[in-house]
Structure 1
Amino acid sequence: KKNVDIYLNALEQNKRWLEDSNLSSQTNIAYPQNNSKNNNQIIIGIGSSGPTKKWPTENYIELIKGINNKNIKFYLAGGNNEIENQIANKIINELKDNRIESLCSLSIEEIMPIINSSKLYIGNDTGFMHLSAGLNIPAIGLFGDTPLSYANYTKNIIPIIPKNFKTVGHNSMAMNQITIDQVLNEVRKFI
C-alpha cells in the first residue's frame, strides 16, 4: 500500500508536467500535440526494482514480434541505468526496427506525455505501470514475484501471473514462467 500511495500522490505533479509545453524542445522525442490516446503507441515496461521482478528480455523481443502490427510504435520504459539501457539496446539491436525507441535516458517528466498519449502499457510491475494505470492507460502487469495486492487498487491494471499459479508473492521467483502467449492473449483485447 505504501508504494501505491507514493505513485498515486505523484500523479498530481505528473499532470502538471503533462501540461508543460517546453518538454518537446528538451529531447529528440516526437511528443504528441494533444492528450488524445494514440491507438498506435505502446509502452513496454522493461525496468524493475530487482532482477526477480524482470520478465526475460528475449520474451519482450518475441512479444513485439508477436504483436505483428506495423502501425504500432513501441517505447521501452526503464530507468537510466546500465542494466536497463542494456536491455533496451538488446531489444532494439535484435529487432532492428525504427518503430522501437528507448525512453531510458529520459526523466519521468519527459516520459509522462508519452505515457499519457499511449494506448497500452505492457511490462513488469514498475513505477511506469502504476503511472500508466493512474493516467487511465490499461496496464498489463507481469506479476511473477510481486503480490497481486499491488494491482488490486485499480481496474486499469490487468495482472498476469504464471499459468497454474493461484497467486504470487515476494519470493515466488516465477517471472520466467509467464508465457508470451499469455501476454499476447491479453494484448489482443486492446489492439
Structure 2
Amino acid sequence: MNKILIIDPGKGWGQFVSKMYCYQKLANHLNSKIIFFTKKSTQAEHYLKSLSFCEDVLYIDEPKKGIKYIFSNIKSIIKNIKKINQFQIEQCYVFHPSLRYLLIAYLSNIKEIWGLGFKFQNFFLKKNKRFYSSFFSKTKSDDEALEAVKKITNSQKIDFQPLSSTENNLRDTVGIIIAASGNEKRWAISNYLKILKFLKEKNYKKFLIISGLDQSKDENLIKEKFIQNTDIIFTSDKKISDVIPYLKKCKFCIGNDTGFSHLSVNLDVETLVIQGDCPPQSYSKLLKHVDIESNVNRSPTSIHTIKIEKVLDELSKLLNRRGGRVVEGARLESV
C-alpha cells in the first residue's frame, strides 16, 4: 500500500477538522491510509490517530518570524524533512498555498506531489497536479480543500461523513461549549447561564460544559446556580482526549465557534454555533448557526451584539426538529 502524506497546517483547529470528510474521501479514493502533517494547534492526534483512514499524525516544527531566525528556520525545515523521510512517502498532497510546504515536500524526495498551485506554487507544479489553473486564479479560501479533492477524485459532490458516531440510546447529555480561542469568539457566560436555565426547564438534566483552562470562574458560576439536581461534567482540567468520549454521548451541542464545536459535528452531533468575528461555515447539515445581524460589521466585539432571545429562538427550532426529523448523519431521535 502506498504511503500517502497530507500537508495541511490548518488555520485553526476548527477549520482543520471541518475538512476531514474531504480527506476521508481522498483516502477511500486512493485506497490508502493517510499520514497527516499539521500544526500542533490542530490537536489532530486526539481525534485522528484511532481512525481507520489515519496512519499517523506528525506535527510541523514551526518557523519563527523575523530575519534573526533565518538559521533557526533552516534547521526547522531540515527537522521537518527528517520527520517525513522516516515514512518513505510516495505521494504527497499539499493543502496550503505556502511555497515553504511545497519545498519541504520536494526536498523529502517524494515521487508524486500534488498541491493547490496558488500564486507562486503554480510555477512548481505540473498542470495536472494542481488545483488553481494559473498564478492569477482567485482563491477559493475555505472551499479549497473540498474543490481540490473533488478534482483529484473526479467527483461532482462530496457528501459530509462524520469521523465516528454513537448510537442514540447511548446519548444522554447536552453539550454547552463555552470555550473559545479568544474573546472575539466568546459569548458572555451570563447568556450561557440563561441557556442552561432554559434547557433545565425543558427537562434536560445532564450537561457537558466544555471550557478552557482560563474558565474555572465561569465553571464556578455554573456550579453555584445549577449543581443541585443536575448532572454536570466540567472539562477545564481535562485533556482533549478525555473530553471526546463525553462529547460522543451528546444529543446535541450549543456553543462558541471553536474547535470543539466543529469536532462535535464531526462526531455526528447536531451543533448550534454562535458566530462572531468569522463568517459561518456550511459543510454539514448538522452544523447550525446563530449569526450577527446583516447590518452589523464583523469585528472583535460583534459576537456581543447577538441577543439571548435570538439564540433561544434558534435553540427552540433545533429542539422542535429533533422531535421527529432525521438530520443528515444523525438518526431519528425523540428528546
Give the TM-score normalised by structure 1: 0.76
Distance 1:115 1:14 in 2: 16
> 1:160 is matched with which residue?
290
One-letter amino acid of the structure 2 residue matched with residue 13 of structure 1: K
Matched, 1:145 2:277: yes
User: Which of 38-47 and 54-63 deviates more?
Assistant: 38-47
Matched, 1:180 2:308: yes
RMSD of aligned Cα (Å):
2.5
In the TM superposition, residue 15 of structure 1 has moved relative to its aligned partner by: 4.8
In the TM superposition, residue 5 of structure 1 has moved relative to its aligned partner by: 5.2
> 2:11 is matched with which residue?
2
> 2:223 is matched with which residue?
92
**Cα offsets for 1:114-139 (capped at 9, x unmatched):** 11111111000111101001111111
Three-state SS of the structure 2 residue aligned to 1:2 is coil
In the TM superposition, residue 90 of structure 1 has moved relative to its aligned partner by: 1.4
1:145–1:172 CA contact under 8 A, matched in 2: yes
**Cα offsets for 1:129-172 (capped at 9, x unmatched):** 01001111111000022222xx222222101013x326864x25
In the TM superposition, residue 179 of structure 1 has moved relative to its aligned partner by: 2.1
Matched, 1:72 2:205: yes
Distance 1:46 1:165 in 2: 24
Question: Would you identify which runs of 4 or more consecutive aligned residues in structure 1 move more than 6 Å?
Answer: none
In the TM superposition, residue 13 of structure 1 has moved relative to its aligned partner by: 2.8
Residue ranges of structure 2 left out of the alignment (5+ in a row) = 1-9, 21-43, 53-164, 320-334
1:7–1:127 CA contact under 8 A, matched in 2: yes
User: Which of 91-100 and 48-57 deviates more?
Assistant: 91-100
Three-state SS of the structure 1 residue aligned to 2:247 is helix
Three-state SS of the structure 2 residue aligned to 1:128 is helix
> 1:12 is matched with which residue?
48
**Equivalent residues in 2 for 1:25-174 (5 A)?**
35-37=166-168, 38=170, 40-67=172-199, 68-79=201-212, 81=213, 83-97=214-228, 98-148=230-280, 151-162=281-292, 164-165=293-294, 169=298, 171=299, 173-174=301-302
Distance 1:14 1:74 in 2: 26
1:14–1:109 CA contact under 8 A, matched in 2: no
One-letter amino acid of the structure 1 residue matched with residue 205 of structure 2: I
Three-state SS of the structure 1 residue aligned to 2:255 is strand
Give the TM-score normalised by structure 2: 0.45
Distance 2:190 2:300 in 1: 20
1:46–1:88 CA contact under 8 A, matched in 2: no
Distance 1:43 1:168 in 2: 29
One-letter amino acid of the structure 2 residue matched with residue 12 of structure 1: L
Distance 1:7 1:57 in 2: 26
**Cα offsets for 1:47-97 (capped at 9, x unmatched):** 101112111111000111112133431111022x2x212211212213333
Distance 2:15 2:184 in 1: 23
- Structure ranking higher on relative contact order (CA contacts 8 Å, 6+ apart): 1
Three-state SS of the structure 1 residue aligned to 2:277 is coil
One-letter amino acid of the structure 1 residue matched with residue 49 of structure 2: Q
Instruction: State the number of aligned residues.
Output: 168
Pair member with larger Rg: 2
Distance 1:129 1:36 in 2: 19
Cα 1:119–1:14, aligned 2, differ >3 Å: closer, same or farther?
farther
> 2:148 is matched with which residue?
none
Three-state SS of the structure 1 residue aligned to 2:217 is helix
